[in-house]
Structure 1
């Protein structure tokens, strides 16, 4: 079953107020901030939508607050894809699917990146397979949309500011409608 834009709005209305895994923002604030950072950077409309929806799997596979503290990897990067695939192209879906492995790759390529990860992101990194080795990192960057996923990942990491003001969800759902 595909998710409509109304379904996506409903998911954010119903669950967007949940804390974003040990961070000072909600799921909705995190999604909006990630999309805003993408928009501010001049990203394509598809990548802005990927930024908005990259963690939608958390809202579909509810595991409670901070599941990593209980040793749970909710596989959120995959969970939303079957619902989104009938609606969006690979330019939206692949950065979502790859954003977790992008963290694993960035950690392998940039020790300073790893040092800046939040406590929850470090916990989830271990549950998600840990830092890539050099060969895995080289293979990852060759994948279609890997660069977009790595860029999305950096916005993801920066989208945890409780005081940041963003456009509303309706603004980004309008962009989503234009690429659906």
Structure 2
């Protein structure tokens, strides 16, 4: 888990602008580009500001854990979804955190219920799926679908899948940080 919690949007901006320039785990884009493209896909889908923010930040745990390019190949699951939630819990409420927490489970779910979904995943995403528990069983699918934030997690997952285009040019980070500022937890 992070040694210093993320307590301001500036902390997130610094992390994304710095470590976010690294390649995104076996894909042909950077972590920052993946984050921006995910948020843009959510925005284009008409998602709420909270879900756009979740799309922007869903893989932040990879940066906090300093995921290496070969981690998945070497069998390392960094549990980035849990790390992201832990890192962001001081800033955001469940409407942002829960879709992030469930986006890996949503991939496992979609592989089970949507024909062709698994085959359409990038090779890196297929490899990480095995480390993340593989395709869900029918019983696990029922439990997942009954969860309060499952639909948001599935939409986030689809945005994640669309966010791997080296030629894409989404709006800049400042655009999405302004959206995130509108869904920050109220300070006491």
Same fold (TM over 0.5): yes
* Number of equivalent positions: 180
Equivalent runs, 1:1-180 vs 2, <5 Å? 1-180=5-184
Q: Is the contact between residue 2 and residue 82 of structure 1 (CA under 8 Å) also seen in structure 2? A: no
Q: Distance in 1 between matches of 2:7 and 2:162?
A: 27
Counterpart Cα distance in 2 of 1:146 and 1:66: 30
The CA distance in 2 between the partners of 1:17 and 1:87, in whole Å, is: 23
> Whole-Å Cα distance in 2 between the matches of residues 106 and 34 of structure 1?
17
Aligned counterparts of 2:120 and 2:26: Cα–Cα separation in 1: 15
Instruction: In structure 1, list runs of 5 or more residues that go unmatched.
Output: none
* TM superposition shift of 1:130: 0.6
Given the two structures, how large is their TM-score scaled by the length of structure 1?
A: 0.97
Q: Distance in 2 between matches of 1:21 and 1:81?
A: 19
Secondary structure at the counterpart of residue 111 of structure 1: coil
- Tell me the CA shift for residue 14 of structure 1: 1.2
Quote how far apart the aligned CAs of 1:63 are.
Answer: 2.7
Between structures 1 and 2, the one with greater helix share: 1
Query: Post-superposition shift, 1:43?
Result: 0.3
Q: Deviations over 1:10-61 (max 9, x none)?
A: 1011111100111111000000000000001110000000000000000100
Q: Provide the aligned C-alpha RMSD in A.
A: 0.9
Distance 1:68 1:86 in 2: 29
- Structure 2 distance, partners of 1:176, 1:119, is 31
SS at match of 1:70: coil
TM-score (norm 2): 0.93
Q: Whole-Å Cα distance in 2 between the matches of residues 49 and 64 of structure 1?
A: 24
Alignment partners' CA distance in 2, 1:52 and 1:63:
17
Per-residue CA distance 1:97-135 (angstroms, 9 max, x = gap): 000000000001013111101111111111001100111
- In 1: Cα distance, 2:68 partner to 2:6 partner: 24
Structure 1: 4+ residue segments shifted above 6 A: none
